[in-house]
Structure 1
């Protein structure tokens, strides 16, 4: 098992923003406007104010739902998800190869199929091990056999760890892209009945909201970061805004009551920043249609800033 080197976790001063306006993986329209909402929330300016050089690479082109065929009802819009995820994976890999920090903004959480694939390819070339911190109300560990909806945004984590339909598992030519022991889920509180079997089979570390209540968010993330710094060379943070309670962020793809509160969310991201060990970040499921005056996108942009070093003092 590799031991992380300090230079692997040096923060990159150049950030590349990649928009992924995807709603095909979701059962609800609107998340395709998430990247625009985050830009309107002055995401780039917030990062520049922290001293970063920021390059916005724009949005990856995705055909709208009205121009698509659903296809297999257990893998809805699979062809377009795979096609656009390929572009995303190549873009993320290229950004990392240049030594820049990829910040991917979505879009539904099916985007993780492409982001994790691109990161895994970069890590494989550079003989690094990948760790993923998955912050979400949902485990996203369904497969085509267990899904109750057929929505692919509920499958990316299982597929990345080698469980699911071959087209997702073998995507980008790397299988598995992530070892279960190098994955930690935080904030989980909504899991499908059959999905639980997949979680038990792969057995990643899972910290439900009950665990957060009992242990405290600082202890949870500190435990995860301590483990990862000893085991992996690249830490990717995948943040679904529905991990936060809908009273704070109502404009998300799949809101679930009982999530992280305002300070828990910020402390979580501030602790990650203090570690200095995050090498890539994605933020998913901002849905402006369900939002109020773009407050959820503003909150998400603030969280991104916290993860990149913004502090009260």
Structure 2
């Protein structure tokens, strides 16, 4: 008899950069496939179905209208993401959303929040990113919605995005832990404090270490907690991950990132994942995609030391 798979994973590509300020993240899903994401996960006993790529409107590359760039297109993509992610969760599968820019987390996490409401589960979101992504149209002149997803999920944004999951707000800020933050606009910083987001910025990591950071971020998880990780590749230091549109120096090193992922894996609670903002147009020989796959592998059991499986 074949052993039962440890996880049943569905890969969902969302090839769009419609919410970003730089073109190229639309090629991210294919870069992760080229870096052998499916085979890598299968080598750890994971059953993987690649659902292919979602479809949506093209990027019109227009200036902001009433504070938002490409709002109609962003809504269409996020609705498609929401429906696809929710369908996988309803089948008892773990969705891995391959972005695409980080505006797509609105659809992904609103679907996860909806699933948790339906299943009576608690939700914890780990937001691994260089940016807080807590802007609103009043706080940023760019209008790029990839800088707004956490604010939208917490109820601060255009109605069409705030209500995608059928419940507004989709998230309580107290359910979110942000890790690796090092670039926050002044108005956004005030708003983050007002809303009570728990942020472990790079100074905290420098002072306290990644181990203590992750112990706090993962505290109080229990058997009824759905853990969602939204991993923006610009979380990593650009020296090791150049293939992103918004490089911010001073991010986690390779070993710090590996420890972060290994400690998430140790909880046994990971139930959904976004991998966002990988931009092959700015990468070097697919280096950043290969690193992203390496870190995803650590979420599924690869470890530096031999440890007994939990």
Band the TM-score falls in, shorter-chain normalisation: over 0.9
Secondary structure of the 1:226 match is coil
Q: Quick check: 2:19–2:144 contact (8 Å CA) kept in 1?
A: yes
The 5-angstrom pairing of residues 200-279 of structure 1 reads: 200-229=193-222, 233-279=225-271
Other-structure match for 2:153: 160
Structure 2 segments unaligned to the other structure (5+ residues): none
Q: Quick check: 1:20–1:35 contact (8 Å CA) kept in 2?
A: yes
* CA-CA distance at 1:203 after TM superposition: 0.9
The answer to whether 1:108 aligns with 2:101 is yes
* CA-CA distance at 1:64 after TM superposition: 2.4
Select the structure with the greater relative contact order (CA < 8 A; seq sep ≥ 6). Answer: 1
Deviations 1:210-254 (A, max 9, x none): 000011011111111113449x62110001110100000000121
Other-structure match for 2:36: 42
Distance (whole Å) between structure 2 residues aligned to residue 70 and residue 18 of structure 1: 29
Residue 48 (structure 2) aligned to one of 42, 51, 54: 54
* CA-CA distance at 1:170 after TM superposition: 2.0
Other-structure match for 1:121: 114
Deviations 1:69-117 (A, max 9, x none): 5561621111011111111101111101110011111111011011011
Structure 1 segments unaligned to the other structure (5+ residues): 1-10
Secondary structure of the 2:155 match is coil
Distance (whole Å) between structure 1 residues aligned to residue 50 and residue 303 of structure 2: 24
Q: Quick check: 1:38–1:298 contact (8 Å CA) kept in 2?
A: yes
The TM-score normalised by the length of structure 1 is 0.93
Residue 174 (structure 1) aligned to one of 167, 170, 178: 167
Residue 16 (structure 1) aligned to one of 1, 6, 10: 10
The TM-score normalised by the length of structure 2 is 0.93
Secondary structure of the 1:65 match is coil
Other-structure match for 1:94: 87
Distance (whole Å) between structure 2 residues aligned to residue 12 and residue 163 of structure 1: 38
Q: Quick check: 2:82–2:164 contact (8 Å CA) kept in 1?
A: no
* CA-CA distance at 1:126 after TM superposition: 1.2
Distance (whole Å) between structure 2 residues aligned to residue 109 and residue 256 of structure 1: 16
Distance (whole Å) between structure 2 residues aligned to residue 98 and residue 12 of structure 1: 16
Other-structure match for 2:20: 26
Structure 1 residues 195 and 71, CA gap change in structure 2 (3 angstroms): closer
Other-structure match for 1:3: none
Distance (whole Å) between structure 1 residues aligned to residue 214 and residue 220 of structure 2: 10
Q: Quick check: 2:59–2:73 contact (8 Å CA) kept in 1?
A: no
Secondary structure of the 2:217 match is helix
Structure 1 residues 73 and 43, CA gap change in structure 2 (3 angstroms): farther
Q: Quick check: 1:109–1:240 contact (8 Å CA) kept in 2?
A: yes
Secondary structure of the 2:31 match is helix
